Amino acid sequence: MLVQLLKPDFDELIQKKDWIGLKEVLADVPPVDIAELIVELDGDLAVVVFRLLKKAIAADVFAELPSNKGVILLELFTKQQLSEVMSNLEPDEQVALMEELPGDLTQKVMNSMRPSDQLQVKKILGYPEDSVGRLMTPRYVRVKSDWTVKRSMEHIRKYAAMAETLNVIYVVNDREQLIDDLRITELIIAAENQTISKLMDDSYTALRVFEDQEEAVKMFAKYDRVALPVVDSDNVLVGIVTVDDVIDVAEEEITEDMQKMAAMDALDDYYSQTSIAQMIKKRLGWLIVLFVGQILTALTMGQYEELLSKIVFLSFFVPLIISSGGNSGAQAATLIIRALATDDIRADDWKKVFFRELSSGLILGLLIGILGFLTLLAWDLAANGYVDQQSYLTASVIGLSLLSIVLFGNFIGAMLPFILSRLGFDPAVSSTPFVATVVDVSGIIIYFSIAILFFEEIIM
């Protein structure tokens, strides 16, 4: 909203090259909104506007820019600008940027950083790509258990400026192993001569440096914390992860799951930053797989060509039958995939889910089947003014087929994520189109098998 209000004045000041006026306007604008204004400018003009920013907020603005825009600016920055921006970024932000840089720019950016920052970045980049280690920052404050509150507060005041957050203070032993964490409020209200050990409850929650970042998202959601400590295999405190970084990961994971559920490989970048060639590459593979699935559907239909030639009206209801099963399966798959992703259920809960979805599928199938049965009778009554034996037979075929296919679709949609999880695949791969394709083929077989039973005399 603020960006929309500012944009006309922003564009006008740039057009007039009123840099003094623009500098005054940007002085009171939040970094995230400045980044949104800058992102639409071409590289050279963006650099000019960037130079107008106060040093205190320039790094914050840069951190909010999309990676492709950030790379363009880095290529155009002077050595001094590059050094100023990089030195004011948090270590985790420096790492995130280095991950996106092309090879020829990586060394230039690394050389612009302070030696201490270079060591930190290289250490963090040494952890696996999607691990908690890549998210953490080494900027935190820790105290010793035998310190007094007075000494601890003096230490906190001394190092507060370099810490990313002071909400929680971490307690370590002489080997730098984490033994507890304390909220800053506990220290503020405690007596100065009291030792830290007296405030400890020996209870804390920590992330492991090699854990997957998804685990960090789950831990933050479970414990409702603004920061969590990160320890190595020896329980040595090596950093902290803050909630703002976890929110970014959660957003990426949700986006990735949504894309997979739409039957495509997850994009490596934002949609607007993904080239058409990359987009085609990500989508084509699954489209070919689904195309083959639809060929199987057509071939299955072909097996009942003789039946359809004798009872043509059965073909009218094929879309109704297979779409009902596909919709039921898609609903079940979406529910189970999300429940697995949020740890609401686990892979070992498949038996409980099996009976739960069997019950719900049966009830849904009965309701949809009855609706289909009554709708067909009402249709014949409205069209002909009466209902004959064939109408009842056809309505029975439709009703029973809907019951069977909705039940089957619900079962497939619910169980497929568990099967994929057991096999080591991402459950999100059991996407809506994929489930629908499986149910389409099966639905046709079920539908025509029931029709053969009811119309055996006509067929013979």
β-pairing, 142-144 vs 168-172, is parallel
Question: What element of type H or E holds 40?
Answer: none
For a pLDDT cut of 90, what percent of the chain falls above it?
A: 26
Name which of 280, 350, 332 is nearest 439 in CA terms. Answer: 332
Q: Counting Cβ atoms within 10 Å, is residue 3 exposed (0-12), middle (13-18) or buried (19+)? A: middle
Pairing of the two strands 207-208 and 237-242: unpaired
- Please name the residues in contact with 416: beta carbons below 8 A apart, sequence gap of 6 or more: 333, 430, 434, 435, 438
pLDDT 10s per residue in the chain (460 long)? Answer: 566 767 777 777 778 788 888 888 888 888 888 888 887 777 778 888 878 887 778 878 888 887 777 777 788 887 887 888 888 788 878 888 787 777 777 888 888 888 888 888 888 888 888 899 998 988 899 999 999 999 999 999 999 888 888 889 999 999 999 999 999 999 999 999 999 999 998 889 999 999 999 889 889 888 888 899 999 999 999 999 999 888 888 887 777 777 766 666 666 666 666 778 877 877 787 778 778 877 887 888 777 777 767 677 778 888 888 889 888 988 898 888 888 877 788 888 889 999 999 999 999 999 999 999 999 899 888 877 777 888 888 889 999 999 999 999 999 999 988 888 888 777 776 566 778 778 888 888 898 888 888 876 665 5
- Identify the sign of the CA torsion 130, 133, 137, 143: positive
Residues pairing with 182 in the sheet: 169
- Token output for 139: 């900027």
Q: Which long-range contacts (CB under 8 A, 24 or more apart) does 158-163 make?
A: 163/139
What is the rounded distance in angstroms from the CA atom of residue 135 to the CA atom of residue 444?
Answer: 49
Evaluate whether 187 touches 197 at the Cβ level (below 8 Å): no
Tokens coding 6: 């500012």
Return the closest-CA partner of residue 132 out of 255, 249, 251.
Answer: 249
DSSP 28: T
* Annotation: CATH topology of 2-126: MgtE N-terminal fold (1.25.60)
The pLDDT tens digits for 406-427 are 999 999 999 988 888 888 777 7
Tokens of 402: 């809907």
How many residues does this entry show for the chain? 460
pLDDT for position 254: 76
pTM: 0.66
* DSSP secondary structure code for residue 77 in this structure: S
**Distance set, CA 93 to CA 86, 125, 141, 331 (Å):** 9, 12, 19, 38
Token readout for 337 is 């995939």
Distance set, CA 279 to CA 69, 100, 183 (Å): 19, 18, 46
Question: Is the Cα torsion angle 206, 209, 212, 217 positive or negative in sign?
Answer: positive
What are the structural domain ranges in the chain? 2-126, 142-249, 271-459
Cα–Cα distance for residue pair 295/289, rounded to 1 Å: 10
Task: Report which of 110, 104, 34, 17 is spatially closest to residue 69, judged by C-alpha positions.
Answer: 34
Q: Which of 329, 335, 398 is nearest to 361 (CA)?
A: 329
Angle between helices 2-16 and 31-38 (to 10 degrees): 50
The number of CA neighbours under 13 Å toward the Cβ of 234 is: 7
Q: Which parts of 127-173 fold into alpha helices (H)?
A: 149-159
End-to-end CA distance of the chain: 71
- pLDDT at residue 272, as a whole number: 67
Give the pLDDT of residue 48.
82
Nearest residue to 264 via CA among 244, 246, 284, 249: 284
Determine the Cα–Cα distance for residues 424 and 403; give it in Å rounded to an integer. 32
The fold of the 271-459 domain, in CATH, is: Tetracycline Repressor; domain 2 (1.10.357)
255 CB-side CA count, 13 A:
12
Q: To 10 degrees, the CA torsion angle through 103, 211, 166, 162?
A: -30
Predicted pLDDT at 408: 93
Q: Alpha helices, DSSP H only, in 160-263?
A: 184-189, 196-199, 213-223, 243-261
- Which listed CATH number (3.40.50.620, 3.40.190.10, 3.10.580.10, 3.10.450.50) goes with 142-249? 3.10.580.10
Q: What six digits make up the tokens of 250?
A: 């959660």
**Cα angle value 300/333/289 (rounded, 5°):** 45
CA distance 435 to 419: 13
